[in-house]
Structure 1
Amino acid sequence: MRGLAGKAILVTGSSTGIGFAMAERLVAEGCKVQIHGRDQAEVDAAVAKLGAATIGTIGDLAEPATAHAIVDATVKAFGRIDGLVNNAGIYPRGSIGTTTAAFFDHVFAINTRAPLLCAEAAIAAFRLQKSGGSIVTVGSINAWCGQADLTVYSMSKGALMTMTRNLADALGPERIRANQLNVGWTFTANEDATQQREGRKPGWQNELPAVFAPTGRIMQPEEIAAHTAFWLSDDSAPVSGQIYEAEQFPVIGRSRAQIS
């Protein structure tokens, strides 16, 4: 895609899953990529697989200082930062009847505060470079309403939509773009483990009803990675402030006949 080769990109939560697929795609596009995760062994394995165009750093995004630290590490390693992918997040189950203040604070610290702090640090770097830049934040289709057992998670992703539009509106004159991917149901090792823990049998991803997978299959991480690369690239410029549903069906306004 246009304008990606040589760019320095930080992808949070990129040692495994969708984040790793994003990093892999960006390396294939000629980018230099900062791999981030919480587990040293997973980060090391990702860097070893993706090669010399990557560096790795660990950090817990529940800690406010981590956001600036990983952006600083990207600039130190590559001399600059051109793009940020706010991918890291958690999705613990919890309904309104089981939510506690501590649970709320933990989910929002990682899913909402950390993307804001990462964006803050990246924007400061973009301004020092006088370069413009691109921020892609990974949300969820649950941001529009969400499941009954994902109340706080859905709220945390909904807040990101407002953040994305606000940043885009404020930063457009500086050529700093902000867009959001609201990702639908995607198969990863973590999602597989979650679904089996909740009672689904191995291979569940191949037997989804058409209401969830009208194309006959679940989405794959590399497909989400392709959309991410597009929104980081010049091919999507100068578009900013958009909430983009990466899903197999219309998320808003879907016919009740389709979901009943």
Structure 2
Amino acid sequence: MGLLNDRVVLVSGGTQGVGAGVARAAAREGATVTVTGRRREPGEKLVAALRESGAEALFVATDVADVAQAQASVATTVKAFGRVDALVNAAGLTSRGTLVDTSPELFDEHIAINLRAPFFLMQAAVRDMLRRGAPGGIVNVISSSELGGQPYLAPYVAAKAGLAGLTRNAAHAHRFDRIRINGLDIGWTDTEGEDAIQRRFHDADDGWREEAGRRLPMGKLGQVDEIADFVVFLLSDRSGVVTGSVIDWDQNVFGGLD
């Protein structure tokens, strides 16, 4: 449909999972795409595939926990393609910790990746949009856990709740600049990273996805391609004037009780 024709889209954490899905979906809809991440091999492989499909694409090796590297990825995109029209903050850390066993170091890691990085990536992207007097779009991939979450996700919840508040604050601040900023509170999603987490922290075996799906209302985990299509919709003009929304993208109804 060409929903993102002639747009330059930067996807942080785009080498796997939801980020990679967004990169593929954006390219399919006509966007020029910058993918960032710490792992060079999967990043370059993804970009090569995007180019083979006919899209313009660039991989920038980036550790978003380093503010200088995060903001440099925006500068590199502007240098390569002239601008940044849209930003998707998909990089994330989901390591476990409770209120009573989380160390200051683990807490700081979550803040650095799940909150500080999106803040300064948004800052750099919005500065480029303001410099050009141009509209833009930002989508922050948050988590339904920001509404409370599991006990073993305490530092993650703290950071993601902050990101939800930041999303609304930035959207309010820049609504008259026509920069639309929204977030997705995604639920349990089938990604490579989630598979690793389930095996590392929950002793999961090869059948964990099927077992989890049997316990969920829709009979399956959230799917990357479905989330990616929704992100593209939010970045596109088809989503109209929507800004400052943090949307529950989950199969559980928060506040509902049985």
Aligned match of 2:8? 8
Contact 1:135 1:232 in 2 (8 A): yes
1:254 maps to a residue whose letter is: G
Q: Shift of residue 176 of structure 1?
A: 0.7
Aligned match of 2:204? 200
Residues 141-150 or 1-10, more deviating: 1-10
Q: TM-score, normalised by structure 2?
A: 0.95
2:106 maps to a residue whose letter is: F
2:28 maps to a residue whose letter is: A
Computed over aligned residues only, the root mean square deviation of the Cα atoms, in angstroms, reads 1.3
Whole-Å Cα distance in 2 between the matches of residues 86 and 136 of structure 1? 6
Q: Secondary structure at the match of 1:208?
A: helix
Q: Shift of residue 209 of structure 1?
A: 5.7
Whole-Å Cα distance in 2 between the matches of residues 104 and 196 of structure 1? 22
Among all aligned residue pairs of Structure 1 and Structure 2, give the percentage whose two residues are the same amino acid. 38
**1:179-203 CA deviation, whole Å, 9 max, x = no partner?**
0011111101121122123212212
Whole-Å Cα distance in 1 between the matches of residues 116 and 2 of structure 2? 31
Whole-Å Cα distance in 1 between the matches of residues 78 and 239 of structure 2? 24
Whole-Å Cα distance in 2 between the matches of residues 72 and 229 of structure 1? 22
Aligned match of 2:29? 29
Whole-Å Cα distance in 2 between the matches of residues 71 and 54 of structure 1? 14
Whole-Å Cα distance in 2 between the matches of residues 121 and 78 of structure 1? 15
Whole-Å Cα distance in 2 between the matches of residues 234 and 2 of structure 1? 11
Q: TM-score, normalised by structure 1?
A: 0.94
Aligned match of 1:254? 256
Counterparts in 2 of 1:102 and 1:196: CA distance versus 1, 3 Å:
closer
Paired residue for 1:180, among 183, 186, 197?
A: 183
Whole-Å Cα distance in 2 between the matches of residues 158 and 2 of structure 1? 33
Q: Secondary structure at the match of 1:135?
A: strand
**1:50-98 CA deviation, whole Å, 9 max, x = no partner?**
1142100011111110121001111111111100001101011001111
2:37 maps to a residue whose letter is: G
Q: Shift of residue 249 of structure 1?
A: 2.5
Whole-Å Cα distance in 1 between the matches of residues 160 and 81 of structure 2? 30
Aligned match of 2:160? 157
Contact 2:136 2:178 in 1 (8 A): yes
Q: Secondary structure at the match of 2:174?
A: helix
Tell me which stretches of 4 or more aligned residues in structure 1 moved more than 4 Å: none
Whole-Å Cα distance in 2 between the matches of residues 242 and 158 of structure 1? 14
Q: Shift of residue 208 of structure 1?
A: 2.0
Whole-Å Cα distance in 1 between the matches of residues 18 and 141 of structure 2? 10
Contact 1:136 1:231 in 2 (8 A): yes
Residue segments in structure 1 that go unaligned for 5+ positions in a row: none
Residue segments in structure 2 that go unaligned for 5+ positions in a row: none
- Give yes or no for the alignment of 1:94 onto 2:97: yes
Contact 1:17 1:190 in 2 (8 A): yes
Counterparts in 2 of 1:135 and 1:209: CA distance versus 1, 3 Å:
closer
Contact 1:2 1:234 in 2 (8 A): no
**1:119-158 CA deviation, whole Å, 9 max, x = no partner?**
0000000011111111100100000001100001011000
Whole-Å Cα distance in 2 between the matches of residues 190 and 133 of structure 1? 29
Residues 5-14 or 60-69, more deviating: 60-69
- Give yes or no for the alignment of 1:80 onto 2:87: no
Whole-Å Cα distance in 2 between the matches of residues 160 and 145 of structure 1? 14
2:115 maps to a residue whose letter is: T
1:178 maps to a residue whose letter is: I
Q: Secondary structure at the match of 1:137?
A: strand
